[in-house]
Structure 1
Amino acid sequence: MGEPAEDPDLVARRIARESLDQDDPTGWFERLYSAASEGAAVVPWDRGTAHPLLTEWVEESGPDGTGKTALIVGAGTGWDAELIADLGYDTTAFDISPSAVQAAQRNHPDSKVHYVTADLLAPPAEWHRAFDLVVEIYTVQALPIELQPAAIKQVGEPVAPGGTLLVIAAARADDVPDDAIEGPPWPLTRAAIDSFATADLQLIQLTKSPSPADPSIYRWRAEYLRD
């Protein structure tokens, strides 16, 4: 019998730690996706389908993307982007990892999504206030806590006037100190969720629900609207 497969979460954390030790807090995404493309790792959050909380939001809200634009933050292998594109949105999906973008294009060869490589912390200037819908799932929480405020600011920047931001993230209690979290991920506190809001980007709906896989883990689903 062969050796049992190593826990994908542990592999991801080891790869992340190697990047963090080299003062490269975002480099681990490419390392992980590259290793996955070679069969040497598994991307823990690649579900082979859109995130259930995104699907739930679509079913509840019934958005019509006809004539509208959408941006998917940290697109990974593309399942969330494909769901949004199927709603009629002209969808752009980006990831900092070129290997992730290539995987998305392989997974969805007939896709209408524009998959591109870009950095959330330094996005293209033309994305400013350019999208009617912005979806962020598990990207901010994959960054070290000290980088999260800058990432949160950038997540809201592309939302156009009248546009919607949807954020899905693992939840952390506000009384759990930063140094008690050994990520990735580094789940978001309620205070972090509140900080996506700005003077003209209002939090209009927030739910906190247990994970079906582990009821001790809670997830945020937050919806914001820009004036």
Structure 2
Amino acid sequence: MNTDERWERVYTEAQGDANKVPWALSAPSPYLQNWLEQTAATAGQSALVVACGLGDDAEALAAAGYQVTAFDLSETAIRWAKQRFPHSQVDYRLGDLFDLPADWENQFDLVFEFRTIQALPLTVRETVMSQVAKPVVPGGTLLVITYLRDENLVPDGPPWPLTDAELAYFETLGLQVVRRDRFQNRDSA
């Protein structure tokens, strides 16, 4: 089974029960909510949500004033998100992080990534990080929420948490670290 089928299978087998989707919180990430409370959206700013799942984070960004596009590899997840939020202003799309539309490059003021990078094998880490960074407009923001690990630990994953050195790879892609927060409670991420 390839990775694409694995994600789709999880959503399909959940049969509408979000509790059966291991990464679904059925609410926006508390870290995203905290960030939104501290950061004011400018009217008309665009946001892209990577691997949006059931849509909670995308909806939180839309409620904060962003014009949101959200994508996921799972057709079932996209359909489920649209059913959960029938009056949503979010543009939900089926999409593949490894094959983003060309017109998304440098197009979004904010790109939000929540534990997607760490869900994919180390062998594709730099490719995934490059793809996550591509849609960020120059001067825009990439918000990454992920677990971290010590440099000397090799995870057997999934997940495959990131190291500080791996996060620094974003700087080679032209991004600058503006803020880094560390949280102790892994369960609330």
The normalised TM-score by structure 1 is 0.78
Are 2:62 and 2:90, in contact at CA under 8 Å, matched by a contact in 1?
A: yes
**How do 1:104-143 and structure 2 match up within 5 A?**
104-143=81-120
1:58 is the counterpart of 2:17: no
Are 1:65 and 1:87, in contact at CA under 8 Å, matched by a contact in 2?
A: no
- State the 1:146 CA deviation: 0.6
Larger radius of gyration: 1
SS in 1 for 2:118: helix
Letter in 1 for 2:185: S
Letter in 2 for 1:186: W
> What stretches of structure 1 move > 3 A for 4+ residues in a row?
38-41
Distance across 2 between alignment mates of 1:136 and 1:36: 23
User: 2:5: which partner in 1?
Assistant: 27
- State the 1:112 CA deviation: 0.4
* Number of positions where the alignment pairs a residue of Structure 1 with one of Structure 2: 189
1:198 is the counterpart of 2:172: yes
Change (3 A) 1:175 1:86: same
Gaps of at least 5 residues in structure 2 are none
- Structure in which a larger fraction of residues adopt strand: 1
Which structure has more RCO (C-alpha within 8 Å, separation ≥ 6)?
2
Cα deviation, 1:126-185, whole Å, max 9, x if unaligned, reads: 1000001100001111111111110000000000122111000011111102xxx23221
**How do 1:154-165 and structure 2 match up within 5 A?**
154-165=131-142
1:79 is the counterpart of 2:56: yes
Are 2:18 and 2:26, in contact at CA under 8 Å, matched by a contact in 1?
A: no
Q: 1:182 aligns with which of 156, 167, 177?
A: 156
Root-mean-square deviation over aligned CA pairs: 1.8
Distance across 2 between alignment mates of 1:116 and 1:212: 29
Change (3 A) 1:91 1:40: closer
SS in 1 for 2:146: strand
- State the 1:41 CA deviation: 7.5
Gaps of at least 5 residues in structure 1 are 1-18, 220-227
**How do 1:94-113 and structure 2 match up within 5 A?**
94-113=71-90
- Structure in which a larger fraction of residues adopt helix: 2
Are 1:65 and 1:90, in contact at CA under 8 Å, matched by a contact in 2?
A: no
- State the 1:109 CA deviation: 0.7
Distance across 2 between alignment mates of 1:108 and 1:129: 28
